[in-house]
Amino acid sequence: MEDAQRRRTWLALTGPYALFLLFLLLVPFANVAVYSLHPYSPTKVFLPELTFANYLKIFDVYYLRLFGRTLRLGLITMAVCIVLGYPLAYFLARSRPRMQALCLFLLIMPLMVSAVIRVFGWIVILGRKGLVNQALLVFGLDPVRLLYNETAVVIGLVNVFIPFMVLPIMASIERIPPSLEEAAQNLGANWAQMFRRTILPLSVPGLLSGCLLVYSLSISAFVTPALLGNSRDRMVGQQVYDEVLVSFNWPSASSLALTLIALTGVLMFCALLATRRASRREAAS
């Protein structure tokens, strides 16, 4: 009875984690979905009747502005990450192994250190008595208010999420054999022409992946905008936190959360498709 035993082994191997995810991922989100469909009550968490009010509320001015601001800041972050991250990705992809290992370490390390710490560092740099203002004073300029506004938030988000732009692009460029660059040069292209006609089009899957990744991470960020931004110009993450832990309006928080998940889910799914299609095209060539 080999088959039965194999099936049992398989269940023993995958079962625990599957159950775990069931109870600590699916069920909590099902719970959230349930909450989102009931109206809010300050005394009883929520009332028993069903309603779509929590979702319709999203079309209120306040929430529309909230989402608009969040999506806009996400877009700006993504754009800055492209401008700064693409050259870094190209550099990494074409570096010698030891240099690449070092630079990858320097890129990944901040990623793994808690976002709180990195944001903390930015607070010190951007603060009123911080590094930037000290430098300005040296040049005889007035101190600038750099913290607790959208600029600071974007700086923080770019700082935290740029590795997610760099790594997919780097992987894409690494798959382009250097002989293609040499062939283009041999056919008369200078570096800029070679880049535009050869590297750029072939790195699009990685670029797409990175953009979608950075964007969805940015619009669902919390710690960075919470510490570097202000309460008035908040992002969706801050609103969710607020509604869950401060105002205890769990139904509203739930509808907000599910809306955000729907957005990021779609984006992540597209990113996945982009990478799948790219690897399939390469497998053919």
Out of 4, 59, 177, 246, the only residue in the binding site for another protein (CB under 8 A) is 177
254-283 residues in contact with another protein (CB under 8 A) are 254, 257, 260-261, 264-265, 268-269, 275, 281-282
Stretch that binds another protein, among 51-59, 70-78, 136-144, 193-201 (CB under 8 A): 193-201
Grouping H, G, I as helix, E, B as strand and the rest as coil, residue 229 is coil
Half-sphere exposure of 116 toward its Cβ, with a 13 Å CA cutoff? 1
- Site for another protein contains 135 (CB under 8 A): no
Binding letters toward another protein, positions 21-60, x by CB under 8 A: x--xx-xxx-xx--x-------------------------
Stretch that binds another protein, among 8-16, 55-63, 71-79, 145-153 (CB under 8 A): 8-16
Out of 39, 53, 71, 110, the only residue in the binding site for another protein (CB under 8 A) is 110
Out of 4, 61, 106, 246, the only residue in the binding site for another protein (CB under 8 A) is 106
Nearest distance, CB of residue 18 and another protein, angstroms = 8
Angle at 272 between CA 267 and CA 275, to 5 degrees: 125
Helix 150-174 and helix 115-126, axial crossing angle in degrees, nearest 10: 130
Instruction: Provide CB contacts within 8 A for 249, sequence distance 6+.
Output: 40, 243
Stretch that binds another protein, among 51-59, 61-69, 137-145, 172-180 (CB under 8 A): 172-180
For residues 237-249, one letter each, b for 16 or more C-beta atoms within 10 angstroms of the residue's C-beta and e for the rest, the string is: bbbbebbbeeeeb
